[in-house]
Amino acid sequence: MGFFLLAACSGPGVLRPDGILSQEETPPSRSFTRLQEKLRELGYDAVGMQYETDSTLDFLFQVFSDRRAAGRKIKLVYTGLYPTYDASHQSMTIGGGTDAAAVLDFVIKKIPLR
């Protein structure tokens, strides 16, 4: 009688035959680096963006390149199912579509200036 060991993890890595999880280092995409630099310039921090597609990262870069997204009470930026803002943590979640004008409208209406 035998059994199987099923191992799972989130994030990059490869389970080697000897059972050790090795992290494969891949350089961040140009889209990720560009977005991260833009958010840092604004005083915001991207959370989990290294797992997003380049098209999503490019969309977010478009949103945060608009001057109306600057100077907001935002510390953390996430992606999710729909747009939300948590004032107590100054965190913003972007999701639910790829209409930059709609996201900027949300930012203007829901997130106060510093």
pLDDT tens digits, 42-54: 999 999 999 999 9
Residue 101: CB atoms within 10 A of its CB come to 9
> What is the pTM assigned to this prediction?
0.77
- Predicted confidence at residue 4, as pLDDT, reads 45
Tell me the C-alpha to C-alpha distance, in Å, between residue 4 and each of 1, 9, 67. Answer: 11, 16, 55
Report the residue count for the chain. Answer: 114
Judge residue 59's burial from the number of C-beta atoms within 10 Å of its C-beta, 0-12 exposed, 13-18 middle, 19 or more buried.
buried
| pLDDT confidence of residue 14 | 60
What mean pLDDT value characterizes the chain?
87
Q: pLDDT: is 89 or 28 the higher one? A: 89
